[in-house]
DNA sequence: AGCACGCCGACT
DNA sequence: GTCGGCGTGCTC
């Protein structure tokens, strides 16, 4: 009998599939089952991917040690999806699998759900409790067990709780374990284990303030048309992609909800992806409100235990609606019939470490494998998505009007060059914004102030010698933060931090100056201009603590703050009806970057943030400060004119040969020295170009060149790009080159469809 | 990623 | 003399 060989994916990023033998005594595990395998000196848990052929002669095969699952732990369609992700994004199967698994499924065999000890009375316990209650008045006609006062009290409490009391409730009643155990010994109480799933909505890690208003439930004619089109697509029960392009405030969420309800009633599952739960609480809350406990939630803000519980609820088939962030695309939801990607243009769908997948694109593939309808929704679709709609790969559905006929915000552009000429070079808030802010404070209306740059000052430089304070590990200057009475300089890439010195380290001159400004400075500026204003700030620094973002947004939502200053975090899908003013401090942050998506990002950010104003009964106003008032991304965002922006931008992408017109792959090679990184990148690039295969399409290689961050966390980096019309050919060439140069491959990271070339 | 082996500085 | 720093190499 030939040995049974299986291919196992192990959670080790650098490794490919490994082949193991199934020993005589064990059955052949099914694909998707977890198995415990020896690896080197370690023992770890992997997942069976399928049968394997005899590998090359030089490897000695080992036996698997244990089979953890009789049936597939990962269902076949999820396994298929992870295989696609590994292949498309050139990531190891182990790394991809780790992304698809619930926490602890591979590291720890102890189930992480919480087993609750529940104490209940036995039949006899009830009897005794009843007799005890009347005991003092009646003669002790029957022998009562000898009970202490505490025991009698506990019996009474338990009698009032037929469902039992868990340990938390026992503690709340001041009942000690000793009393319970004595009752148990007497046979009056039982203790049973009950599996209880943690509810992330209740625990606070996803505590949401519902803002969905009933008024929005009545669909506008436009929403009804959109819903009808989507309904027909869903009923076809085959793979299709719809791009729902609806202006901010046009009521996309309500369309998703009604569609989801219908798909669910037809017996199929619904998967809803959102960029970040904490930033789009309204959508999650609306789903929870509509579908109740039939909704599972998945995102990185949950504790491991919560995520684990939710994953198993889905796996058991207890829920048919799942809402979550990008990794939720891998959840084991049975029979998905609808996959919605809300705010599909959002860059947080892209995972920035291996596997570098794009949640939206994986969602489209999952829909393809499942024969489901995929709905991509946005007010500012990604160039890729609109391009696909224009080329008939996606069906475009458009919502052009806001619900309840609310007007779009009135947008004004302030030319900061003129403002500086009149007010001096240090002006942060223009006169127009100061006046508008003042008016809102008087009227008790709210204001959002956006500056997409954190910290107090962008850098410190010496007025005598021009030196800046740079990060010792990365090729950037340190950003200044205020830390109580001190000034700290911190690296935004590696978190290196130091106090800002009194004198220049280079020339010893005491003329160190802070240059540029960020959100902390804006917050301070507003506080000094309007001493009575209640100001909050939301950026990565202020919300480091878990739950603090939700807390800050909820405070603002409840009206406990007048002004919220923040980075792009505040521009996402919030619905704050009392906001009537949005100020953008430097709209051109990012336009100066040499990134081919700079204009797209700026347009999206400005359109989205302007859309935050005027979502209630009052008219909204947006004031946009910029040094480039004539730049098309700014003028067209002010006009809320997506089609014209797309037309202009796609022309540029054609001319410059950039995505979505062509495909790109970025390869970064790290090295101990600059020379080593460049050499590695050059070798890899030349092997890649040697594997060009004209029958798979042509591509060009740009570089190698130093990466934009030449040094990051102490490592030097060099990069090259592939540009071409066929991803298959490009991926093939890179894959072969990596295989030929394994020692360089270990220091290389590959980004297929990079979102940023910076 | 771990976990080994392996070759050079400050200590009982 | 060795305890331990992390550089390099391997894992079916």
Confidence class of residue A198 from pLDDT cuts 50, 70 and 90? low
pLDDT at A160: 66
Q: CA of A37 vs C1' of C10, distance in Å?
A: 16
Output A125 or A676, whichever has higher pLDDT. Answer: A676
Confidence class of residue A731 from pLDDT cuts 50, 70 and 90? very high
% of chain A surpassing 90 pLDDT: 53
Q: CA of A699 vs C1' of B2, distance in Å?
A: 38
Cα–Cα distance, A517 to A521 (Å, whole number): 6
Q: CA of A49 vs C1' of C3, distance in Å?
A: 44
Q: CA of A106 vs C1' of B12, distance in Å?
A: 43
Average pLDDT over residues A214-238: 88
Beta-strand ranges (E) seen in A597-662 are: 621-626
Beta strand A165-166 with A114-121: parallel, antiparallel or unpaired? antiparallel
| Highest mean predicted confidence (pLDDT) among A138-142, A353-357, A740-744 | A353-357
Strand B proximal residues, A:18-47, Cβ < 7 Å: 40-42
H or E element, residue A241: strand A240-246
Q: CA of A714 vs C1' of C6, distance in Å?
A: 15
Q: Please state, in angstroms and as integers, the Cα–Cα distance from residue A69 to each residue in A28, A66, A104, A554, A722, following that order.
A: 11, 9, 15, 43, 42
Average pLDDT over residues A414-420: 93
Residue A743, CB, strand B, below 7 Å: no
Cβ atoms A618, A580 nearer than 8 A: yes
Cα–Cα distance, A69 to A312 (Å, whole number): 14
Radius of gyration of chain A (CA): 30
Average pLDDT over residues A143-166: 69
Residue A142, CB, strand B, below 7 Å: no
Beta strand A699-712 with A715-724: parallel, antiparallel or unpaired? antiparallel
Nucleotide nearest to A14 (CA to C1'): B1
Residue A59, CB, strand B, below 7 Å: no
| pLDDT, tens only, A535-575 | 999 988 887 776 788 888 889 889 999 999 999 888 876 77
Q: CA of A735 vs C1' of B11, distance in Å?
A: 50
Q: CA of A495 vs C1' of C10, distance in Å?
A: 32
For chain A, the residue count is: 758
Confidence class of residue A169 from pLDDT cuts 50, 70 and 90? low
Cα–Cα distance, A126 to A510 (Å, whole number): 82
- Measured at the CA of A76, the angle between CA A260 and CA A35, to 5 degrees, comes to 130
| pLDDT, tens only, A662-700 | 999 999 999 888 888 898 999 999 999 999 998 988 999
Whether A230 shows a pLDDT value over 90: the answer reads yes
Give the pair of three-digit tokens for residue A103.
């926490």
Beta bridge partners of A54: none
Burial class (CB in 10 A: 0-12, 13-18, 19+), A94: buried
Buried b (16+ CB within 10 A) or exposed e, A647-682: eebbeebeeeebbbbbbbbbbbbbbeeeebbbbbbb
Residue A12, CB, strand B, below 7 Å: yes
Average pLDDT over residues A365-393: 97
Residue A545, CB, strand B, below 7 Å: no
pLDDT at A2: 75
| Highest mean predicted confidence (pLDDT) among A128-132, A208-212, A259-263, A536-540 | A259-263
Q: What is the pTM of this model?
A: 0.85
């Amino acid at each position: 009998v030939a040995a049974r060989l299986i291919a196992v994916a192990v959670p080790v990023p650098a490794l490919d599939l490994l082949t193991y033998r199934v020993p005589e005594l064990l059955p052949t595990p099914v694909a998707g089952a977890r198995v415990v395998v020896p690896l080197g000196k370690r023992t770890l848990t992997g997942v069976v991917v399928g049968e394997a052929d005899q590998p090359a002669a030089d490897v000695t095969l080992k036996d698997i040690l244990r089979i953890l699952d009789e049936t597939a732990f990962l269902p076949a369609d999820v396994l298929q999806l992870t295989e696609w992700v590994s292949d498309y994004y050139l990531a190891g199967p182990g790394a991809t699998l780790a992304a698809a698994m619930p926490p602890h499924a591979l590291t720890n065999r102890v189930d992480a759900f919480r087993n609750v000890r529940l104490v209940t009375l036995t039949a006899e316990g009830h009897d005794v409790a009843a007799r005890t209650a009347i005991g003092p008045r009646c003669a002790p006609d029957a022998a009562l067990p000898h009970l202490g006062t505490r025991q009698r009290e506990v019996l009474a409490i338990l009698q009032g709780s037929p469902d039992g009391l868990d340990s938390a409730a026992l503690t709340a009643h001041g009942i000690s374990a000793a009393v319970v155990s004595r009752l148990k010994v007497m046979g009056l109480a039982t203790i049973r284990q009950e599996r209880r799933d943690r509810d992330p909505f209740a625990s606070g890690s996803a505590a949401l303030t519902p803002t969905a208003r009933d008024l929005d439930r009545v669909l506008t004619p436009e929403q009804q048309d959109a819903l009808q089109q989507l309904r027909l697509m869903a009923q076809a029960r085959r793979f299709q992609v719809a791009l729902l392009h609806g202006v901010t405030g046009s009521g996309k969420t309500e369309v998703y909800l009604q569609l989801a309800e219908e798909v669910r009633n037809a017996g199929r599952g619904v998967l809803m992806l959102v960029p970040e739960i904490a930033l789009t609480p309204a959508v999650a809350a609306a789903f929870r409100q509509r579908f109740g406990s039939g909704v599972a939630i998945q995102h990185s803000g949950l504790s491991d235990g919560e995520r684990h519980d939710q994953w198993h609820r889905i796996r058991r088939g207890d829920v048919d609606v799942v809402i979550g962030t990008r990794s939720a695309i891998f959840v084991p939801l049975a029979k998905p019939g609808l996959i919605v990607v809300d705010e599909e243009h959002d860059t947080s769908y892209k995972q920035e470490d291996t596997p570098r997948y794009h949640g939206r694109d994986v969602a489209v593939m999952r829909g393809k494998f499942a024969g489901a309808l995929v709905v991509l929704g946005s007010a500012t679709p990604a160039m890729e998505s609109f391009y696909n709609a224009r080329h008939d790969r996606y069906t475009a559905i458009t919502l052009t009007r806001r619900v309840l006929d609310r007007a779009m915000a009135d947008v004004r552009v302030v030319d900061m060059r003129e403002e500086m000429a009149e007010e001096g070079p240090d002006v942060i808030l223009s006169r127009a914004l100061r006046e508008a802010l003042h008016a809102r404070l008087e009227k008790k209306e709210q204001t959002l102030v956006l500056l997409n740059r954190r910290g107090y000052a962008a850098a410190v430089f010496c007025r005598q010698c021009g030196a800046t304070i740079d990060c010792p590990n990365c090729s950037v200057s340190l950003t200044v933060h205020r830390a109580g009475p001190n000034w700290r300089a911190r690296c935004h890439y590696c978190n290196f931090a130091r106090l800002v010195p009194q004198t220049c380290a280079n020339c010893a001159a005491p003329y160190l100056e802070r240059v540029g400004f960020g959100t902390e400075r804006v917050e301070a500026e507003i506080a000094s201009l309007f001493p009575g204003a209640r100001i909050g700030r939301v950026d990565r620094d202020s919300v480091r603590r878990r739950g603090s973002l939700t807390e800050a947004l909820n405070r603002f939502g409840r009206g406990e703050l007048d002004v919220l200053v923040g980075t792009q975090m505040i521009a996402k899908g919030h619905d704050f009806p009392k906001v009537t003013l949005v100020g953008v401090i430097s709209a051109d942050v990012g336009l100066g970057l040499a990134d081919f998506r700079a204009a797209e990002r700026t347009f999206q950010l400005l359109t989205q943030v302007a859309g935050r104003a005027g979502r209630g009964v009052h008219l909204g106003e947006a004031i946009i400060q910029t040094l480039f008032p004539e730049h098309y991304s700014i003028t067209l965002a002010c006009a809320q004119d997506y089609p014209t922006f797309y037309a202009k931008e796609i022309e540029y992408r054609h001319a410059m040969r950039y995505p979505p017109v062509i495909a790109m792959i970025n390869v970064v090679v790290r090295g101990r020295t600059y020379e080593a990184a460049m050499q590695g990148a050059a070798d890899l690039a030349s092997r890649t170009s040697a594997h060009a295969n004209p029958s798979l399409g042509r591509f060009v290689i740009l570089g190698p060149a130093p990466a934009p961050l030449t040094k990051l966390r102490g490592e030097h980096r060099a990069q090259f790009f592939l540009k071409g019309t066929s991803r298959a050919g490009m991926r093939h060439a890179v894959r072969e080159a990596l295989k030929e140069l394994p020692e360089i491959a270990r220091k290389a990271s590959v980004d297929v469809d990079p979102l940023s070339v910076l």
